Amino acid sequence: MGKNRIVITGMGAVTPVGIGVANYWDGLISSKRGVGKITRFDASNLPVQFAGEVKDFDPEAFMTKKQAKEMDLFMQFGYAAANEALTDAGLNPDEGELDINPERIGIVVGTAFAGVAGISEAQDSLSTGAAKRVSPRFVTKIIGNITAAQVAIAKGFKGPSLTVTTACSSGADAISTGIMLINSGEADVVCCIGAEAATCPLTIQGLSSAHALSTNNDSPETASRPFDVSRDGFVMGEGGGSVIIESLEHAAKRNANIHAEIIGFANSTDGYHVTSPHPDGIGAIFCMKKSLERAGIAPSEVDYINTHGTSTPKGDTIEVNAIKTLFGEHAYKLAVTSTKGSTGHLMGAGGITETIACVMAVKEGIIPPTLNLDNPDPQCDLDFVPNVARKADIKVAMSNAFGFGGQNSSILVKKFE
């Protein structure tokens, strides 16, 4: 894992099933469904009319009116999650002076689409003549790196600030990149953020044309049905997630509360196709295997996998086969779930919110269920914990995040001892 033991000392979440980690976790384990008809714009003429929207989000509960005006929605979600995580870690300058050099605090943001919804809206206003000019804030609201900049400006952090965009692996890759910054000596603490709010007519049309989205407009809340024989595509979601990571030595020095230890991570690419995963799951297998090797543990030591499991006909089967190939007989003893039945697919934010789900599973001894799994695909025959959460002793959990372009990311968390 490198020269440092890496621990998570803060967590924050903004999701379609709850705002704040406690509400998010409660939503997952109480089988709450966060997907419904789109309310933010008129979707009645679109091929897909539903998504996982964040409900009742008031940006001014997390930031000033001026900050809210300067940020696109995806940035607001990321900022709110980071604010919660920093407070949780005892590192929020708003709560009192820090005794850490601000030059040693880094930020890494992961986002797949950045400000695409804002771009689409602005262009539509110009094209239709509804607007004659573009706001002076436009550019700084739609470029992905300004999420990190807003956190740095507000909190006074001066360390490395990076933004990664690796499709739906972006959030998980933000964590991996943060670990690399700590292990290379570039930072002592890294605020890792995933942020996404890309639901707009343009992305819906584009993803529909690519046959990626579920078209179950009659029953939106059950449209995301990972591993079910009737699954027909993923459901767009949105939100923000954040984890604060640091070396165990650094966390111990400041007497921080430790949620869990990250014992392994890996990133890989299929080198195969721009949208389809490799049919044999070679990148996923390599990625999961590499994270286990980095952690120095055997496959049999993993108790739970939070899969990428997006509810696409091809992707779910390929991931299940990859797990079977790598884990062998142990694959049937593992709990293997997808929380996307609950939240939809949070894309760039998913890798972090799902890592948080793994941390909570380890801490609380509860496995969040796979919702809407009523008729399992015969090819998907693992223990998917359908529809109802289950108590279990979880010591080690893996979170998988895969994305367009053949991106693969795996994070391994362990109960901290």
Q: Is 193 helix (H, G, I), strand (E, B) or coil?
A: strand
| Mean per-residue pLDDT, 104-109 | 98
Query: Tens of pLDDT along 59-78?
Result: 999 999 999 999 999 999 99
Give residue 2's pLDDT band: very low, low, confident or very high (50, 70, 90). low
Decide: residue 353, CB within 10 A, 0-12 exposed, 13-18 middle, 19+ buried: buried
Query: Tens of pLDDT along 110-146?
Result: 999 999 999 999 999 999 999 999 999 999 999 999 9
| Mean per-residue pLDDT, 34-52 | 97
Angle at 146 between CA 27 and CA 182, to 5 degrees: 75
Beta strand 18-19 pairing with 35-37: unpaired
Please, where are the H alpha helices in 39-129? 65-70, 73-88, 116-128
Query: Tens of pLDDT along 150-162?
Result: 999 999 999 999 9
Query: Which residue in 250, 308, 358, 380 is the catalytic one?
Result: 308
What fold characterizes domain 266-414?
Answer: Peroxisomal Thiolase; Chain A, domain 1 (3.40.47)
Query: What is the chain's mean pLDDT, rounded?
Result: 97
> Which helix (H) or strand (E) covers residue 342, if one does?
helix 340-343
Is the predicted pLDDT of residue 293 greater than 90, yes or no? Answer: yes
Handedness of CA 268, 334, 305, 260 (dihedral sign): negative
- Interatomic CA distance for residues 387 and 382, integer angstroms: 14
pLDDT of the residue at 185: 97
| Mean per-residue pLDDT, 180-204 | 98
**Is-catalytic flag, 168?**
yes
Is the predicted pLDDT of residue 1 greater than 70, yes or no? Answer: no
What fold characterizes domain 6-253?
Answer: Peroxisomal Thiolase; Chain A, domain 1 (3.40.47)
Query: Which residue in 250, 345, 358, 380 is the catalytic one?
Result: 345
Is the predicted pLDDT of residue 3 greater than 90, yes or no? Answer: no
Neighbours of 150 (CB within 10 A): 22
**Is-catalytic flag, 345?**
yes
Residue 356 CA: distances (Å) to CA of 125, 152, 172, 229, 284: 38, 23, 11, 28, 20
| Mean per-residue pLDDT, 406-412 | 97
Quote the DSSP letter at residue 272. Answer: S
* 6-253 and 266-414 share one fold: yes
Query: Tens of pLDDT along 322-343?
Result: 999 999 999 999 999 999 999 9
Is the predicted pLDDT of residue 295 greater than 70, yes or no? Answer: yes
pLDDT of the residue at 337: 98
Decide: residue 3, CB within 10 A, 0-12 exposed, 13-18 middle, 19+ buried: exposed
Could you tell me the residue ranges of all domains in the chain? 6-253, 266-414
| Mean per-residue pLDDT, 171-191 | 98
Query: Which residue in 168, 191, 200, 287 is the catalytic one?
Result: 168
Predicted TM-score (pTM) of the model is 0.97
